[in-house]
Amino acid sequence: MVFFMSDFENFMRKEVYDKAAVAGSKLCSKGVDKSTVNNMISVFNSEEDPESACLLLITYIKRQVGRGEIHREAGGTLVRDLYEIYSSFREMGKEDLRSALYKYLVLSKWVFESGIRREVKKFEELLS
């Protein structure tokens, strides 16, 4: 039996972990404050509509980069990833979009909280 995963399923099972590992490790290695990382999730959750929430979060991240609260490289990674998720999945429905964005944010936070002091390129690097 051949099983084909949808783009969404593939993203939720593999790609989101890799993207979150990269983002979370950059946030940690670049010395971002824990409250700033927590605030990203709060900003996202402040809007019910996931499209509005994503755009608001991107604006917040850009603001924090400008204020020096988020390192430019880490902020760029977050913005690129969020916009890629937004662009790829907004046509799939609000529930799937919210799920993909939220999973990315939470996984990024958990990698950040792990205290890793080196940047990684994929999730598997965290396992060794």
2 occurs within a structural domain: no
Q: In the numeric block, which tokens belong to residue 47?
A: 């809007």
CA distance 57 to 67: 15
5 occurs within a structural domain: no
* Tens-level pLDDT at each residue, the chain (128 residues): 333 446 667 666 678 899 999 999 999 999 999 999 999 999 999 999 999 999 999 999 999 999 999 999 999 999 999 999 999 888 888 998 999 999 999 999 999 999 988 888 988 888 87
92 occurs within a structural domain: yes
- Total domain count, the chain: 1
109 occurs within a structural domain: yes
Q: In the numeric block, which tokens belong to residue 97?
A: 């979009």
36 occurs within a structural domain: yes
- Please give the residue range of the domain that contains residue 31: 14-116
Q: Residue 85's closest CA among 6, 4, 7?
A: 7
pTM more than 0.95: no
125 occurs within a structural domain: no
